[in-house]
């Protein structure tokens, strides 16, 4: 994997793997939003656009005819024909056929039924970790919540978490190293292929068994489609939630006033979580242009790729007052951390549950903590953002 050349001009040569972007993309996006506002790079595919204003991102997200989701990202060396992971890479009408079948598994009532299990898992983790003086809130705590929860819902062993995180790391760097990404996808397909066979022989009350019985127009999913649906379910909920949870805890480690308010009054946590989702939104995704179109003053051509950097839209001052400030009791907060339009996050109820329980439980066990002196906070690189190391000292 080669090291990317330094970026000299973010408006014509941006790179989501550049160290400055990985460490702190907000000033870059702020500058582009006011000066550009749709940036471009030739580093990936045959060129990728980067809209940074809420208005442009929202227009694109709602226009599924001109902006197709049938593309799974960017790579160096050109657009590659790649497998689609339903429903995120499907356009209408096929998209809704799959999404409709998954929705019942992620509706508020069904998700709330998971609360005691998520609570038990977070309690156990927090109880063990708070016996120590120094803990890494990203790698010791936040990383272990979403992987275990989605494993329970899918009906696969939560103890396979390390394997899931290894695959996710390979996908994050997949734009730069397609071989590594393809090996990870191959391993994931084989993993789910084996589980599908087990469930066919011995059904259980889990998402995999449920999907085996689904029929669309009288036809069941073939094994390959099932594997791809399950791969998406596994990866869509892990680093996304881990990223927001880790960034929220990092904020609380650095901002004692907010931490003390949430400890004193945990009923503020749900509102604070909406603000953390907005301010630390973790997910950017991709679209492919299907016909020539003019947007935000630029002409896009058929076949161009667009990076949907929802986190930049979440800090657009046209949409949010004091957009760069974290205001845990913010009243008007119509953020797009979960996207917009037909692909809006299917797991948003689950993500909110995990964030609520994860933060509430940590604060109950460790009301006082701070970043260790000279802490080296590191971040995931690529399209999904979040801290990978947040070393804190617990004040007992
Ligand atoms: C804080 C955590 C999360 C964030 C910020 C997030 C963000 C997003 C965003 C921005 C999209 C829109 C994609 C697009 O427009 O192309 C999306 C879609 C999706 N998310 Fe999430 N997500 C999170 C957690 C989860 C969880 C926990 C799950 C489930 C296990 C999940 C499953 C999905 C699925 C299946 C889609 C595709 C929906 C469709 O195409 O109809 N996400 N997510």
pLDDT per residue over 24-79, tens digit each?
Answer: 999 999 999 998 899 999 998 888 999 999 999 999 999 999 999 987 666 765 55
pLDDT of residue 178: 84
What are the sequence ranges of the domains in the chain? 25-67+86-314+323-394
Nearest atom of ligand 1 to the alpha carbon of 352: 1
List the residue whose alpha carbon is closest to atom 7 of ligand 1. Answer: 338
How far is ligand 1, taken at its centre, from the CA of residue 238, in Å? 10
Give nearest CA residue, ligand 1 atom 38: 343
Q: How confident is the model at residue 96 (pLDDT cuts 50, 70, 90)?
A: very high
Q: Cβ < 6 Å from ligand 1: which residues?
A: 61, 69, 87-88, 99, 150, 232-233, 236-237, 240-241, 244, 281-283, 285, 310, 337-339, 343, 345-347, 350-351
**pLDDT over 70 for what percent of the chain?**
97
40 phi, psi to nearest 5 deg:
-145, 155
Looking at residue 259, its pLDDT comes to 98
**Cβ partners under 8 Å of residue 366, min gap 6:** 126, 130, 394
Per-residue pLDDT reduced to its tens digit, 108-137: 999 999 999 999 999 999 999 999 999 999
Sequence-distant (6+) residues with CB within 8 A of 212 are: 196, 199, 200, 203, 220, 221, 226
Question: With contact defined as beta carbons under 8 Å apart, do 147 and 233 qualify?
Answer: no
End-to-end CA distance of the chain: 44
* Residue 90's pLDDT band (cuts 50, 70, 90): very high
Q: Whose CA is nearest to atom 20 of ligand 1?
A: 345
- Summarize pLDDT for 136-156 with one digit per residue, the tens: 999 999 999 999 999 999 999
* 10-27 b/e (C-beta count within 10 Å ≥ 16 → b): bbebbbbbbeebbeebee
Task: Calculate how far, in angstroms, residue 307's C-alpha sits from the geometric centre of ligand 1.
Answer: 15
CATH number of 25-67+86-314+323-394: 1.10.630.10
pTM of the full structure: 0.96
Question: 236 alpha carbon to ligand 1 midpoint, in Å?
Answer: 6
Compute the distance from residue 396 Cα to the ligand 1 centre, in Å.
37
Q: How far is the CA of 171 from the centre of ligand 1 (A)?
A: 16
Q: Residue 258 has which token pair?
A: 């907010």
Tell me the DSSP string of 208-228: HHHHHH-EETTEEPPHHHHHH
Q: Look at residues 23, 67, 158, 151 and name the one whose alpha carbon lies nearest to residue 341.
A: 67
Token code pair at residue 200: 């066919």
The pLDDT assigned to 81 comes to 62
Q: Which residue has the CA at smallest separation from atom 17 of ligand 1?
A: 345
- State the number of CA atoms in the 13 A half-sphere of 50 facing the CB: 29
Distance 252 CA to ligand 1 centre (A): 24
Q: How far is the CA of 147 from the centre of ligand 1 (A)?
A: 14
Instruction: Look at residue 252 in the predicted model and tell me its pLDDT.
Output: 98
pLDDT at 317: 97
Q: Which residues pair with 371 in a beta bridge?
A: 392
Question: Ligand 1 pocket test: which of 74, 102, 240, 307 has the largest number of ligand atoms within 8 Å of its C-beta?
Answer: 240
Distance 128 CA to ligand 1 centre (A): 30
């Amino acid at each position: 994997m080669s090291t990317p050349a330094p970026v000299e001009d973010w408006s014509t040569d941006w790179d989501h793997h550049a160290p400055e972007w990985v460490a702190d993309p907000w000033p870059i996006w702020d500058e582009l939003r006011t000066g550009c506002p749709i940036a471009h790079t030739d580093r990936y595919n045959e060129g990728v656009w980067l809209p940074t204003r809420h208005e442009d991102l929202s227009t694109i997200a709602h226009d599924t005819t001109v902006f197709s989701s049938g593309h799974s990202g960017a790579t160096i060396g050109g657009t590659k024909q790649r497998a689609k992971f339903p429903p995120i890479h499907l356009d209408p009408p096929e998209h809704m056929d799959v999404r409709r079948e998954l929705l019942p598994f992620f509706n508020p009532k069904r998700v709330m039924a998971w609360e005691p299990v998520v609570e038990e898992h977070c309690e156990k983790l927090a109880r063990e970790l708070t016996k120590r003086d120094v803990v890494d809130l990203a790698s010791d705590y936040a990383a272990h919540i979403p992987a275990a929860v989605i494993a329970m819902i899918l009906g696969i062993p939560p103890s396979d978490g390390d394997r899931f995180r290894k695959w996710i790391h390979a996908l994050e760097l997949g734009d730069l190293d397609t071989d590594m990404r393809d090996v990870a996808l191959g391993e994931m397909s084989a993993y789910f292929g084996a589980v599908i066979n087990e469930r066919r022989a011995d059904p259980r009350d889990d998402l995999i068994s449920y999907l085996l019985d689904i029929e669309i127009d009288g036809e069941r999913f073939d094994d390959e489609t099932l594997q791809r649906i399950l791969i998406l379910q596994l990866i869509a909920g892990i680093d996304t939630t881990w990223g927001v949870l880790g960034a929220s805890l990092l904020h609380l480690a650095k901002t004692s006033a907010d931490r003390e308010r949430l400890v004193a009054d945990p009923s503020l946590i749900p509102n604070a979580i909406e603000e953390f989702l907005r301010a630390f939104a973790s997910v950017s995704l991709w679209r492919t242009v299907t016909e020539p179109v003019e947007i935000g003053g630029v002409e896009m051509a058929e076949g161009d790729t667009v990076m949907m950097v929802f986190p930049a839209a979440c800090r657009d001052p046209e949409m949010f007052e004091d957009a760069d400030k974290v205001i845990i009791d913010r009243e008007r907060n119509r953020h797009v951390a979960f996207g917009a339009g037909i692909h809006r996050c299917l797991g948003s109820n689950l993500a909110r549950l995990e964030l609520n329980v994860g933060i509430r439980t940590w604060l109950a066990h460790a009301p006082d903590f701070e970043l260790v002196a000279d802490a080296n906070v590191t971040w995931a690189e690529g399209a999904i953002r979040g801290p990978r190391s947040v070393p804190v000292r617990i004040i007992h």
